Structure 1
Amino acid sequence: MRIAFFVNSIKGEAGYYTTTALALAGMARGHDVSYLTPGDFVLHPDDNLMIRATNLKNGKPKKADAFISALQGDQAEIQTINVSEIDVLFLRNDPSEDADERPWAAHAGAIFGRLAAERGVLTVNDPEGLIRAQNKLYFQDFPQAVRPTTLISKSFEEIRVFIDEQKQGVILKPLQGSGGKNVFKIASSKEANLNQIFEAVSGEGYLIAQVYLPDATAGDIRLFLMNGRPLQRDGAYAAFRRVPAKGEVRSNMNAAGTPAAVEITPKILAVAELVRPKLVEDGMFLVGLDIVGDKILEINVFTPGGLPDIAELYGVDLTPEVIIALEQKVEMRKNYAGRISNRRLATL
């Protein structure tokens, strides 16, 4: 089959990305791999949806850095093809990266992904589900039992009152964003630099004030779910602890967080089970849960990362499981053409 990975930019891809690991796993199983970016869709007057797919001219590098180097160099070529020539469109972009400088690009994947799905291309995660998940407000649709106490507002006074009500302090962050950008721990509304923090975070729109969970000092647990279930093979879970750097409240990898092995307990699995029905309903094929204790801090549905870290920590590469699941879905689509929606197929 042919898999097209939709990313923010090919120049911005790296060997340690989960997308790279998935692409290598696909090629290792004999599939053709292409890359797309937000400007690579063309809708013709006859309603044919075309894509400008970046492919390697020849060879299939087996090492991540060699693959990315080839993809970004003169070994790559762009071919304009009908979207029907690909079997899977895997949406793996981070909308927040384009929100400021290229707002037109932020949701191009979900918008054109919906058109691809209408034309019979398996598109994951389901684009209509992703459109509903454009910011962290999506998290509020999940069971209250898994959500920390949260206030969403643009009013400084509302947020000050909320801070004073939380004895353990709060985490303040923008509603739209990722990667740990503009995330602050606030202990009291009397903090001298609170106005400056408000200004920095509110410049991006609405703010989230979330009660601070003391267990977060040890970091959060990133757990991958596929088809609504924890991704695993023979009891080895796709999960790791993201440990924050010394003096840092954020555990994100791009904020100097480090990966560590973690044991997946029944309590963690119970948390995952609570969000499973909603994820399945929305066609969320591959997601990452960020868990602290019995609460989920975030649900990453666009481009959850960490599968290469998991492979290094445990010596178990789970990316082939993802590709095998896609193979099975493509086969199901052939057998049930026209009788099963993209959203349903995405999590079967």
Structure 2
Amino acid sequence: MKLAFVVNRVETEGPKYTTNILAHRLHQRGHEVFYFDVGRLDYTLDGRVGGLGHFAPAGDYETPEDYHNAVHGNLEKARPVYTDELDIIFLRNDPGEDAADRNWASNAALMFGQLASQQGTIVVNDPFGLSHALNKMYLQQFPESVRPRTVITRRIDEIRQFAEQEGNDIILKPLLGSGGKNVFVVREDDHPNLNQIVDVISNQGYVIAQEFMPAAAQGDIRLFLMNGEPLVVDGHYAAVHRIGADDDIRNNLHAGGSGQKAEITPEILKMVELIRPKLIADGMFLVGLDIAGDRLLEINLESPGGLRGAGILEGVDFTVPVAEALEKKVLCMQNYGSRIPNRTIATL
């Protein structure tokens, strides 16, 4: 199997990133793995889709760190790789990271991915499904019972009215954003500064005003779903209970949070059952749910992180079932071809 991961920038991919540990596992299983920079994709004169593929030289790499070093030590030997030789393209870039300085790159993976999926290469997550989920508004397409009360606007008067209805404590964050950047807890004492906070966020576009959930003060749970189901190995869920640093509401690990073992309750599993049909219908192969209490805070569809941390906490390797699932998709494509659409194969 030949597979390419699309990332924001190959040079900045870290050894502990979920993408790297998946690439390492696939390499160990004998597959040929490439990295594409989302800013260096190509559509050729003869209609092929691909780009400059970065790879690790042939060899056994005991750890993800060893594999990462091999890829980064081989950057100058990258070669063009296209859909006529690729079995899978795995979209793992975060559009939010490119919004500020490379806005033109934000949707590039989707555009090239859509063409690739029509040429017989499996693309996950499905790029047509992802095109309906370009920002956090995707959450509003799920049942009201699983998500916080929310207003999305750029008008300060609407946000003030929402704050009054919610008892004055709300969460404000950008519609297009990631990594916990510009996420604010606004309490009643903060209302004199509300205009300034909204101005900071609205510089990036629309503002999400969300009900404040006390459960989020105890952190949130990042739970991985694969093919619409919780990712489980030997009874262990691929999940991390993320705790914010001090009084920081942002529980993202790279925003200073810490991780511990997560308890996956019957209430959480019931929530998964409610959102699963939509994720399957949209062809979402691997996603990360951010859960606080009995509510779904966000769905990370592009590049959910934390799989390595979940594996360490639970003492199991979650990369193996992901690799096996990708291998099964290739087998399906080899036997059925275009008779089964990409969006269906993505979640088989």
Q: Counterparts of 1:79-228 in structure 2 under 5 Å? A: 79-167=79-167, 169-188=169-188, 191-228=191-228
- Look up the equivalent residue of 1:332 and give its one-letter code: C
Instruction: Say whether the 8 Å CA contact 2:4–2:34 is kept in structure 1.
Output: yes
Distance (Å, rounded) in 2 between the aligned partners of 1:72 and 1:271:
40
Q: Is the Cα–Cα contact under 8 Å of residues 41 and 49 in structure 2 kept in the other structure?
A: yes
Secondary structure of 1:85's aligned partner? coil
Q: CA deviation at 1:55?
A: 1.5
Offset from partner CA, 1:127-186 (integer Å, 9 cap, x none): 011111111111111111101110111000110110111126110001110110000001
User: What's the CA shift for 1:337?
Assistant: 1.2
Aligned to 1:47, the other structure's residue is in SS state: coil
Instruction: Please state how far the C-alpha of 1:259 moved relative to its aligned partner.
Output: 0.8
Q: Which moved more, 1:306-315 or 1:51-60?
A: 51-60
Post-superposition offset of 1:60: 4.0
Distance 2:75 2:109 in 1: 25
Deviation string 1:58-82 (CA, Å, 9 cap, x unpaired) is: 3242322222222222466211133
Give secondary structure in 1 for the equivalent of 2:110.
helix
Tell me if structure 1 keeps the 8 A contact 2:28–2:61.
Answer: no
CA distance in 2: counterparts of 1:311 and 1:49, whole angstroms: 34
Aligned to 1:340: 340
Amino acid across the alignment from 2:21: A
Q: CA deviation at 1:100?
A: 1.3
Alpha-carbon shift at residue 39 of structure 1 (Å): 2.9
Q: 1:7-30 deviations in whole A, cap 9, x for unaligned?
A: 000111001100011011111211
Q: Kindly report the root-mean-square deviation, in angstroms, between the aligned alpha carbons of the 2 structures.
A: 1.3
Question: In structure 1, what is the equivalent of residue 239 of structure 2?
Answer: 239
Q: How far is the alpha carbon of 1:286 from its aligned partner? A: 0.3
More off after superposition, 70-79 vs 171-180: 70-79
* Structure-1 residue corresponding to 2:276: 276
Normalised TM-score (structure 1): 0.97
1:345 shift after superposition: 0.6
CA shift, 1:238, in A, is 0.6
Q: Distance in 1 between matches of 2:201 and 2:18?
A: 28
1:262 matches 2:279 = no
Shift of 1:284: 0.2
Separation in structure 1 between the aligned mates of residue 263 and residue 219 of structure 2, nearest angstrom: 14
The residue aligned with 1:33 is 33
- Deviation, 1:190, is 5.7
CA distance in 2, matches of 1:112, 1:100: 21
Q: 1:274 to 1:247 in 2, by over 3 A?
A: same
Asked if the contact 2:241–2:259 (Cα under 8 Å) also holds between the matched residues in 1, the reply is yes
What is the deviation of 1:3? 1.3
Match of 2:65 in 1: 65
1:315 Cα deviation (Å)? 0.9
In structure 2, distance between residues paired with 1:83 and 1:197? 45
In 2, Cα distance between equivalents of 1:162 and 1:113: 39
2:8/2:39 contact within 8 Å kept: no
Cα deviation, 1:94-131, whole Å, max 9, x if unaligned, reads: 00100111111111111101111111111000001111
CA distance in 2, matches of 1:292, 1:97: 24
Post-superposition offset of 1:196: 1.6
Tell me the residue number matched to 1:328: 328
- Give the conservation status (yes or no) of the 8 Å contact 1:230–1:238: yes
**3-state SS of 1:112 partner:** helix
Q: Which amino acid aligns with 1:27?
A: H
Q: For 1:190 and 1:52, locate their aligned partners in 2 and report how far apart those are by CA, in whole Å.
A: 49
CA contact (8 A) 2:48 2:84 kept: no
Distance 1:321 1:312 in 2: 16
Residue type of the partner of 1:51? G
TM-superposed deviation, 1:193: 2.1
- Residues 169, 186 of structure 1: 8 Å contact kept: yes
Structure 1 Cα separation of the partners of residues 53 and 76 of structure 2:
10
Deviation string 1:38-59 (CA, Å, 9 cap, x unpaired) is: 2332222222334221122332
Q: Would you say the 8 A contact 1:163–1:189 is kept in 2?
A: no
Query: In 2, distance between residues paired with 1:311 and 1:52?
Result: 31
Aligned length, in residue pairs: 348
Partner of 1:251: 251
Q: Does the 8 Å CA contact 2:57/2:70 hold for their aligned counterparts? A: no
Aligned to 1:77: 77
2:285 and 2:346 in contact (8 A); partners too: yes
Where do 4+ consecutive residues of structure 1 move more than 4 Å?
none
CA contact (8 A) 1:160 1:189 kept: no
Q: Is the 8 A contact 1:122 1:346 kept in 2?
A: yes
Note if contact 1:168-1:212 (Cα within 8 Å) is conserved in structure 2.
Answer: no
Alpha-carbon separation, structure 2, partners of 1:214 and 1:27: 43
- Residues 10, 232 of structure 1: CA spacing in aligned structure 2 closer, same or farther, 3 A cutoff? same
